[in-house]
Amino acid sequence: MKNVDYIIVGDGYAALFFAHQLLLNNKSFVVFSEGKKSASQISAGIINPVVLKKFTTFWLAQQQIDFLKKTLKEIESYTGENYLIESPIHRIFHDENEQKLWLKKSANDDLKNFLDEKFDHLNSVKNDFHTGKVNQSARLNVKGFFDGLLSYLENNENLIREKFDYSLIDTSNSRYKDFSFKNILFCEGMGVKENPYFSDISVNPNKGHHIRIKLSQLIPENITIKKKHFLFPLENDLHFYGGTYDREQLHHEIDNSAVEQLQKGLSEFYPYDFEIKEIHFGFRPTVKDRRPILGRHSGYTNFYVFNGLGARGILNGCYFSKTLFDFIEDNMPLPQEISIERF
């Protein structure tokens, strides 16, 4: 029997950022990874403090950005890799009214550090009304992040690559197979619906598609372009474009309508030929109030959940991993805005 402080079930942003908190605090743990590509692992990796449809920000945006940069530096200290890509978002304006709204919003205290007052014109794409740059925006090297962290955990015997079996939990003695645990944390995204302890939490699937494309005319700038969706460079001369949002078509197959939406959206500002090389989709766990769900099980006091990260998985997963750790270890109360008890 091996004694650990934590068992973590899941391998997305919530799981790995919480594992980082455990590493920082010298806690013993194992992560159970089923090995499927989670929504986190196929995500765009956009780090963005602004809601680009309405030019607004969100709760704790600056604090989340600052904490993420600090955390990625800490992770670099043991993986040897910096996964932050300094590639600012340039939002293409649809018309002059959007330009005026952007400038008006940029004077607000909560947005002045994010909305650049100077507009830019990009030579490589159609942007008749120029673009607005989102300061402090960036991207995460998603593949590098997951490959690097999972490899580090595996090399240090913190990773178990197998599907977790709920039926094998001995709740009375806090045991699972050959492990005795103090706490168990479920970070399963939409997989939580199969979890007998937390299947009733209020998360709903939001299906997102993205395409990986070969551009006939390359975009020279190292930026992320946003109109309807995000366009940015990947390795091997490919570009990412996506992702869509769909709460209705939830089958586990590619939706041709979503692919057509992406093709049309890209063609609106990229006036050259492109070839679709790959199509990916995943299911984001979303919550009606757009804030994550954290907390303790009402009946099993050492069972916890960390879910509902939605489209801001990187920022939510990173920032609230520390909040959850402090709640478990130091009994610091969870903010009502993210507590499981708010529902």
From CA 265, how far away is CA 259, in angstroms rounded? 10
From CA 134, how far away is CA 105, in angstroms rounded? 12
Measured from the Cβ of residue 73, the count of other Cβ atoms closer than 10 Å reads 11
- 197's CB contacts (< 8 A; 6+ apart) are 166, 186, 297, 300, 303, 305
The per-residue pLDDT for range 146-196, each reduced to its tens digit, is 999 999 999 999 999 999 999 999 999 999 999 999 999 999 999 999 999
Report the pLDDT value the prediction gives residue 222, as an integer from 0 to 100. 85
Q: Give CA 211 to chain center in angstroms.
A: 18
Q: Compute the mean pLDDT over every residue in the chain, rounded to the nearest whole number.
A: 96
Question: 333 — alpha (psi -120 to 50), left (phi > 0) or beta?
Answer: beta
DSSP string over 117-137: EEEE--SSS--TT-EEEETT-
Report the pLDDT value the prediction gives residue 200, as an integer from 0 to 100. 95
Q: Residues in the chain with pLDDT < 70?
A: none
Continuous H helices in the chain:
13-24, 61-79, 96-106, 142-155, 256-267, 313-330
From CA 270, how far away is CA 216, in angstroms rounded? 10
Report the pLDDT value the prediction gives residue 183, as an integer from 0 to 100. 98
From CA 246, how far away is CA 208, in angstroms rounded? 6
- 121's CB contacts (< 8 A; 6+ apart) are 127, 130, 131
Report the pLDDT value the prediction gives residue 249, as an integer from 0 to 100. 85
From CA 80, how far away is CA 3, in angstroms rounded? 29
Measured from the Cβ of residue 126, the count of other Cβ atoms closer than 10 Å reads 12
Report the pLDDT value the prediction gives residue 220, as an integer from 0 to 100. 78
